[in-house]
Amino acid sequence: MASTTLSQSLSSPSIITPTTFSHRTSLFSKPRSLSLSSPSRTLPPLIVSASSDASLSTSPDATPIEKRFPAFPTIMDINQIRDILPHRFPFLLVDRVVEYNPGVSVVGIKNVTINDNFFPGHFPERPIMPGVLMVEAMAQVGGLVMLQPEVGGSRDNFFFAGIDKVRFRKPVIAGDTLVMRMTLIKLQKRFGIAKMEGKAYVGGELVCEGEFLMAMGSESTQ
């Protein structure tokens, strides 16, 4: 009876999935050559498309993946960033500004590459961006808001005055693009103190967030 059922099923035009096939072979007391563990019966690996739209990935007229995603816009390039921030190699951690609302917020990106100088030590077998450097990169993006005339700042140094409620949600690894939004919450111009909210993303997923207290001006500020 089992062999008859299997013969009828195999002659059917319906598609047999690996799950169905495994279920039907279990009708035999001994799997023998039909066992999925046999090297001669190994199923081919599944190829998963990066696109969620199956028709787009299979259509001959589909846009190639290398042309499908637009580049980040450039509001400030690296030369303009260097004109504002005092940081230099190996501690300049902002590559581009992609959005700028004067006196309100700024969005900057850091392209995380295996050539970054911290990866040989953190860690050689698993290149993860240190959390403290993620916080530093976000602070530098915030500095681009603080040091602008719209906020009453000047192109001078700025320093950490405090960090609160920092949370790291996911690791950032070589090959990621860290997108950081810093929003000015409160500014005390008299004392040159700014409170900012920061959030960092990779591929639209939150990886780090926190509140930053930063001070402008005097080098005696720690």
According to the model, what pLDDT value does residue 21 have? 38
pLDDT, tens digit, for every residue of 152-203?
555 567 888 899 999 999 999 999 999 999 999 998 888 888 999 999 999 9
Distance, in Å, from the CA atom of 222 to the CA atom of 211, rounded to the nearest integer, reads 17
Which residues are the active-site residues?
122
The single residue listed with the structure tokens 């999925």 is 36
Query: pTM of this prediction?
Result: 0.70
State the chain's mean pLDDT as an integer: 78
3-state secondary structure of 166: strand
Mean pLDDT, rounded, for 62-87? 92
According to the model, what pLDDT value does residue 40 have? 45
According to the model, what pLDDT value does residue 137 have? 97
Distance, in Å, from the CA atom of 42 to the CA atom of 35, rounded to the nearest integer, reads 9
pLDDT, tens digit, for every residue of 93-108?
999 999 999 889 999 9
Residue 20 has pLDDT above 70, yes or no: no
Strand order in the sheet with 96-101: 96-101, 105-111, 177-188, 193-202, 205-216, 158-168
